[in-house]
Structure 1
Amino acid sequence: MDHDVQRFTVTHLRRRPAPVETGGFVLGFDPDTTSPFINYATPLPGAAPTAADVAALVAAFRERDLTPRLEFTPDAAPEAAAALTAAGFTTEAEHTYLVCTPDTLAVPEAGPAVEAPTTDADYLSLDAALAEAFGGEFPQSDEGAARLRRTAETGGAVRLVRAADGTVAGGALCSAPAAGTAELAGVGTRPAHRGRGIAAAVTAELARTMLHERGAGSVWLEYGGQDSRRVYERVGFRPRGTRRYARLDV
């Protein structure tokens, strides 16, 4: 599964508006944002980059005034992991990723109604809801709403749940499948609406869509704490491997 997730990450970054490939790495750049969570790189599975390859990677980030940063599964590219460490990259975090398959998916029998956004207002409202859900870590923006729409229009899926007054209470997105799998991300609920089963509902519906309508053999995600992990496990996600975030700050 590590290799599937790594191949997915490679394809996902190649879909960025301005991707670059150099020395066994794919760098996914989006000129509309400086966010390190969008502008990052990943090694090709099995890549064995040289010191010069890593230097070229760093230079590509520096010339764009971005922090060199990577996300990858180290078991799928162990030589790349070693080369990055030798070049001074440090581990920002390591996350266990969870995987859902058709055999493990468990859609809740009851819960809030889940729908797909259809209008610009829907995408803007969902972007605002996710910005609030994540405490401003990903500020609300027109570009953020546009990225959500682009996800939905390029083979992925976006889902939301509304509050009683019609505003968006929470939602999530799933990227288009690649290498037989798809990444589910951005699961967030506004604080005032937590505890209603929104995260479980949108996660299960997105996984169902990818597995039964878009041809994915699996869906994977990362979690931010034990509470969210329990939510994901209830709808069929199981621990499978580790992803590493690495960066160079000097």
Structure 2
Amino acid sequence: MDTTVQNFAVANLRRRPVVIENPSFVAGFDPATTSPYVNYASPLPGAEPTRREVAHLVAAFRERGLRPRVEFALSTAPAVEPALRAAGFTTEEVHEYLVCTPATLTMPPPAARDSAFVPRARTPHTDEEFDAIDAALAEAFGSEFDASPEGGARLRRIQDAGGVIRFVPSPGGGCAGAASCSAPAAGTGELSGVGTRPAFRGRGVAAVVTAEVAAEMFARGARSVWLESSGDGPRRIYERLGFRPEGTRLYLSISD
């Protein structure tokens, strides 16, 4: 599965508005944001980077005022880690990723009819809905990024390009929580941006949007969907839906 996930990561970076490549790395950039979760690089499977290729990669980030950052499944390119560390990269994070397939997906049980709030997933269509999703995710993830018109536009581009986005409207308007998945590549898709506003946590929002996004991806022919999980609470939700641990991804960056 590591190779499938790595092939997806490379293909997904090539969808960015700006793409820089050399024989070992693909870096994707979106000039509308400085977010490190959007602007990063990943190696080609089997890459054995030279010092010149690493320097070229670092320069691509520095020219844009960004922190050099690389994400990848370690087993797919063992020579990459020592080459990057020799250039000053250090560990930012190590994430386990979980995978769901059509055979393992388990839809969450319906909420009780007498519940004051019943989460129901919807597909966004209007700019207002995309902006509401961006605002909800910004609140859900704390200080990781700020809501912006560019964020809403980016979500629309994901959906227009073949990705899947689902959100749960909040009772008073806006968005209670959402999830998104980029268009599939290499038979898989990354389910990311799963977030619930604090006021709606513990009510099944994350489970509903995650399951609905995965189900739609499978309906479109994806053989798997994967995500990274942090924290025991979210992981338990994903495991109940049929996600199973499959591998590890390493994040390396150069501190500013």
Q: Which residue of 2 aligns with 1:55?
A: 55
Residue 91 of structure 1: how far off its partner (Å): 0.8
Aligned residue among 142, 153, 157 for 1:150? 157
| Residue 123 in structure 1 maps to residue 127 in structure 2 | no
Question: Aligned AA for 1:210?
Answer: M
Q: 1:13-60, CA deviations, whole angstroms, 9 ceiling, x for partnerless residues?
A: 000000111131000011111111111000000011111110111111
TM-score (norm 1): 0.97
Residue of structure 1 equivalent to 2:43: 43
Corresponding pairs, count: 249
For 1:4, the equivalent position in structure 2 comes to: 4
Deviation per CA, 1:98-143, whole angstroms, max 9, x where unpaired? 0000110001131421100110000011110111111131210011
Alignment match, 2:116 = none
Which residue identity lines up with residue 110 of structure 2 in the other structure? A
Q: Which residue of 2 aligns with 1:77?
A: 77
Residue type matched to 1:187 in 2?
V
Residue 184 of structure 2 is matched in structure 1 by 177
Tell me the residue number matched to 1:201.
208
2:115 aligns with none
Q: Are the aligned partners of 1:23 and 1:56 in contact in 2 as well (CA < 8 Å)?
A: no
- Residues in 2 aligned to 1:207 and 1:163: alpha-carbon distance in whole angstroms: 22
CA apart distance, 1:178 = 0.3
CA distance in 2 between partners of 1:99 and 1:69 (Å): 24
Distance 1:77 1:109 in 2: 41
Shift of 1:86: 1.8
* Code of the aligned partner of 1:121: E
Is the partner of 2:9 in helix, strand or coil?
A: helix
Q: Deviations over 1:129-173 (max 9, x none)?
A: 111111131210011001100011001011000122232111010
Detail structure 1 runs of 4+ shifted over 4 Å in the superposition.
none
1:33 is matched with which residue?
A: 33
Q: Distance in 1 between matches of 2:178 and 2:69?
A: 27
2:110 paired residue number: 110
- Taking the aligned partners of 1:195 and 1:66, their CA distance within structure 2 comes to 36
RMSD over equivalenced CA pairs, Å: 0.9
Shift of 1:87: 1.6
Q: Which residue pairs with 1:220 in the alignment?
A: 226
TM-score, with normalisation over the residues of structure 2? 0.95
Unaligned regions of 5+ residues in structure 1, if any?
A: none
Q: Single out whichever of 195-204 and 73-82 deviates more from structure 2.
A: 73-82
Would you say the 8 A contact 1:29–1:38 is kept in 2? yes
Checking the alignment, whether the CA contact within 8 Å between 1:129 and 1:189 is kept in structure 2 is: yes
Tell me how far apart the structure 2 counterparts of residues 87 and 121 of structure 1 sit (CA, whole Å). Answer: 44
Residue 234 (structure 1) aligns with: 240
SS in 2 for 1:78: coil
- Matched AA of 2:41: A
